[in-house]
Structure 1
Amino acid sequence: MIFVGVSAWAYQTARPSPPRTPGSPDGPAITSPRIKLRDGRHLAYEESGVPKDTAKAKIIIVHGFGGSKYDHPFATVGSPELVKELGAYFVSLDRPGYGESDPDPKRTVKSLAFDIEELADQLNLGPRFFVVGHSMGGQVIWSCLKYIPHRLAGVGLIAPAINYWWPNLPSNLTNEAYFQQLKQDQWALRVAHYLPWLTYWWNTQTWFPCSSMIQGNPNVLSPPDREVWFKIFNPLQLQNMRILATQQGVFESLHRDMNIGFGKWEFDPMDVENPFPNNDGAVHLWMGNEDLIVPVTLQRYIAKQLKWVNYHEISGTGHMLAFVDGVTDDILKMLLKTSN
């Protein structure tokens, strides 16, 4: 009976609460425009920049871990004059389970690429469009390169998250980078990769430290990141951003993100082929050399293997490099200059 009781307790604590779907009686209100996907789910989005009908470049922005459609650098710290000069139109989306986008219990590495393609089609962005992603959103961009390369006009990966279990990464480099992470993150990533059914329990229990990103441990930020982050956002704004992003529940947003991002992938990014063999577009990858969240050593290796990736390492910056004064505009200029 003790065994049965312990098993029942373990099952209940490891099982996440049902998501609070937007528009449901106990769910968050719907305040943003949304499209209805072919499987019946809804995807929320936010438009910014120049009007879509007059835009020279149409850019889909994919937010990072714990973010939302409102968290993209071009709208936050970018120059409105430059956006107007370049004719840039942005549409940023809430990824499934975040903000006001319905959760996707069948979500895979592959599925979000087709969600993005469907968003582009329903908004009439044309046969080709740009995609830009930061951190975990940057990791999603690899899926776009793999599954919808024919739809891409240009690509920007900003400090994209790396899965330590991608097969083509050398074990000596991954081991070195992995053990440089905070101890609590080493354990959180192990759980997400090997025991994904325990991810919810691990990141909500109080016995051991959970993921530093979920806990809000400032030690995960490098000195340049702390300076940039707290210059742009005050503590109340940061709290409100997290509440907005995870209002449907932490499992369908943060925890599923971890399970998919650090689980077993359907492909290895280093097997992806150049989407622009005719030089009618370009892929750019930006990294800060003081990034404590994504290992720069692994990023350098990936960029070295994929000769068609234009790699930009910016000295004195960290994971939040896209929010550094001037860097945001440089990213936009480089993305559009080499893709037009």
Structure 2
Amino acid sequence: MTTVVRTLDGRRLAVEEWGSPSGSPVFLLHGTPGSRLGPRPRAAVLYRLGVRLITFDRPGYGGSDPSPGRRVRDVIDDVLAIADALGLETFGVVGRSGGGPHALACAALLPERTSKAAVLVGLAPRTAEGLDWFDGMAESNVVEYSAASAGYDVLAERLGAAAARIRANPAQLVAGLFHELPEADRRVVADDGIRRMLWRNFAEGLRHSADGWVDDAMAFIGPWGFDPEVIEVPTLLWHGEDDVFSPAAHCRWLGERIPGSIVTVERGAAHFGALSVLPDVLRWLVTSAAAPGPC
């Protein structure tokens, strides 16, 4: 059941909880575009892991009010509002894809509340020194982030039209990307259950507008509001070596700068491989279990 949490500035956040109510709390921050209904382990898996999984729509997605001009760092205000409303002192955080930079914001700026952080197929800052940010990136993402660099109005026009097409047919986003998917990702999205979960995710996230999608992209290419090098909480970075949406070089760049981070780049996996590794990552977040090892 969806819960509405109010932020200090009066915005509404749509929040969902999954798994064991008495389990260890973990925030799962969704991808871009996405929603609180995004891919997650089955309830039985979450109960077995002892995880209370918390998801929410970032501003402008699904049932959450927009927050124009938000930066990556601003996610901490929303996470704190939800954690306080739920009575959570500490929690783990995992971000997948576009949720990755936001998970790093929690690790950097909420060290007293964030027990551990994990990033699955995330992005590095656009200004990452020594990183060819677009190298190995699929054309659809290059076009999207290039439009963001051209300005908010250019990006909003492009993504607004795309969101309208997806609202009319939620399966379109996955189908439209299929020709760009490496073989590893095609195997994942061939599963009917995963494909339907992705459709529900996109339909919910974009049901009103493209505001969340636009604001995410603008936040990624702008100043994040923190330096990953200040992160001190235990941090895991996982990436599929064949990822074309957020290339593995982004993960390696972050791993070289986040002190003590655990870096796993898995051969034969790509962007949607993060769905398969998520249960192992959740186990690492809530126990002393070893992190998924590099291949």
Question: What TM-score results when the alignment is normalised by the length of structure 2?
Answer: 0.85
Which of 95, 102, 105 is the aligned partner of 2:68? Answer: 105
Which of 118, 124, 129 is the aligned partner of 2:91? Answer: 129
Please list the CA deviations of residues 103-147 of structure 1 after superposition, one character each: whole Å capped at 9, or x if unmatched.
11242222111110110011111x211111100011111211222
> What residue is the counterpart of 2:293 in the other structure?
none
Q: Does 1:287 align with 2:266?
A: no
C-alpha displacement of 1:85:
3.7
Please list the CA deviations of residues 13-50 of structure 1 after superposition, one character each: whole Å capped at 9, or x if unmatched.
xxxxxxxxxxxxxxxxxx72111111111111111111
Which of 59, 68, 72 is the aligned partner of 2:35? Answer: 68
Moved more, 131-140 or 156-165: 156-165
> What residue is the counterpart of 1:3 in the other structure?
none
Please list the CA deviations of residues 165-218 of structure 1 after superposition, one character each: whole Å capped at 9, or x if unmatched.
23xx30xx31xx514323453233122134233211234579xxxxx9799322
C-alpha displacement of 1:240:
4.0
C-alpha displacement of 1:332:
2.1
Which of 138, 143, 164 is the aligned partner of 1:187? Answer: 143
C-alpha displacement of 1:233:
4.0
Higher Rg of the two aligned structures: 1
Q: Which amino acid is 2:9 matched to? A: D
Counterpart contact for 2:104–2:117, Cα < 8 Å: no
> What residue is the counterpart of 2:258 in the other structure?
306
Question: Quick one: distance in 2 between partners of 1:312 and 1:234?
Answer: 23
Alignment of 1:215-230 (within 5 A): 216-230=176-190
SS at match of 1:130: strand
Unaligned runs of 5+ in 2: 163-171, 291-295
Which of 205, 209, 218 is the aligned partner of 1:249? Answer: 209
Question: Quick one: distance in 2 between partners of 1:304 and 1:292?
Answer: 21
Aligned residues, how many?
281
Question: Quick one: distance in 2 between partners of 1:234 and 1:322?
Answer: 12
Q: Which amino acid is 2:145 matched to? A: L
- Alignment identity in percent? 25
Question: Quick one: distance in 2 between partners of 1:74 and 1:235?
Answer: 14
C-alpha displacement of 1:90:
1.0
Counterpart contact for 1:288–1:316, Cα < 8 Å: yes
Question: Quick one: distance in 1 between partners of 2:145 and 2:244?
Answer: 15
Cα RMSD of the aligned pairs, angstroms, is 2.6
Q: Which amino acid is 1:86 matched to? A: L
Unaligned runs of 5+ in 1: 1-30, 207-211, 276-281
Alignment of 1:137-152 (within 5 A): 137-152=99-114
